[in-house]
Amino acid sequence: MTLRTELSVPSAARIAGIGYIAIVILAMGANFLVRNALVVVDDPAATMHNIAEHETTFRLGIAGFAAIAMIDIAIAWALHVLLHATGERRSLLAAWLRLAYTVAFIPAITFMFVALELSAGGELVAGLDDGQRAALTGLAMEAFDVTWLLALVAFGLHLMVLGRIIVATRIAPRTLGIGLAIAGLAYVADTFAHLLLANYANVAGVFLAVVATASIVTEVWFTVWLLVRAPRAVRALPGAERPVTASPATRR
């Protein structure tokens, strides 16, 4: 007997929507309550001290970022299943770009663990004095930031493809599609501004405002659409009833 494991459109929409909510909650904890609270910009010694003093909290932050990466994989899969009726190549492109973001983001999490090992001390860093450990801790967290920034290029492109799909197919308001595309472009522009502008600090506030506003508004709107409107909108498309096969198996 041949068994087909299929994910329905409503289930895919729920997985993606719930995944977005979970990422928001985890990101608030891992990024704002852990990373931003413990890392002191331009003061690696203070950063090292904070991480060492709050080792358990920092470990929870690392675990939170790791969980976000795994949830992003599930979202990429669910969005492909949900949007395959809009054009399989475009939905695959969106999924691959989100996976590329995840693959690029995971090394950033590794840099956080390196910072933890340097801050906590121990045999692995026994040959380093406090000043060297502090400098390397600051460098590890800077590497975390830069690696995440580079990964956000793929995420921005993912949002731009999602926006293009929505605008082309009208499965959601065009404004949402345009907003997602603008948010994606903002992520890409912000990363390259970091890389190319020596005086980025002078315009950082502007970029932060644009990225934060565009991403928060459109991604929250997209999450609500996934949970409320997506199944009905996608089912109205030609070919939407053809399920995506997740994996075939044969029972003897």
Tokens 């920034």, located at residue: 149
* DSSP sequence for 207-225: HHHHHHHHHHHHHHHHHHH
Q: Where are the domains of the chain?
A: 2-238
Are the CB atoms for 231 and 11 separated by under 8 Å? no
What is the pLDDT at residue 5?
57
What does the pLDDT read at residue 14? 94
Pair of tokens at residue 178: 């345009």
Residue 209 phi/psi, 5-degree rounding, is: -65, -45
User: If we measure between CA atoms, which residue out of 7, 160, 25 comes closest to residue 77?
Assistant: 7
SS3 19: helix
Contact 166, 174 (CB under 8 A): yes
Question: Which amino acid is it at 5?
Answer: T
Separation in Å, CA 221 to CA 125, 180, 198? 47, 10, 35
Q: What are phi and psi of 199, to 5 degrees?
A: -105, 35
Q: What is the predicted pLDDT for the residue at 251?
A: 36
Q: How far apart are CA 245 and CA 147, in angstroms?
A: 34
Residue 249 pLDDT: 39
Supply the pTM of this predicted model: 0.88
User: 70-81 burial, b if ≥16 CB within 10 A, otherwise e?
Assistant: ebbeebbbbbbb
Phi and psi at 3, nearest 5°, equal -105, 135
Quote the pLDDT of residue 234. 83
What are the C-alpha distances in Å from 115 to residues 39, 131, 150, 178?
10, 14, 19, 39
Please give the backbone phi and psi of residue 23, each rounded to the nearest 5 degrees, phi first.
-65, -40
pLDDT in tens, the chain (252 residues): 444 457 788 899 999 999 999 999 999 999 999 999 999 988 999 999 999 999 999 999 999 999 999 999 999 999 999 998 888 899 999 999 999 999 999 999 999 999 999 998 878 787 888 899 999 999 999 999 999 999 999 999 999 999 999 999 999 999 999 999 999 999 999 999 999 999 998 998 999 899 999 999 999 999 999 999 988 888 777 655 555 544 433 333
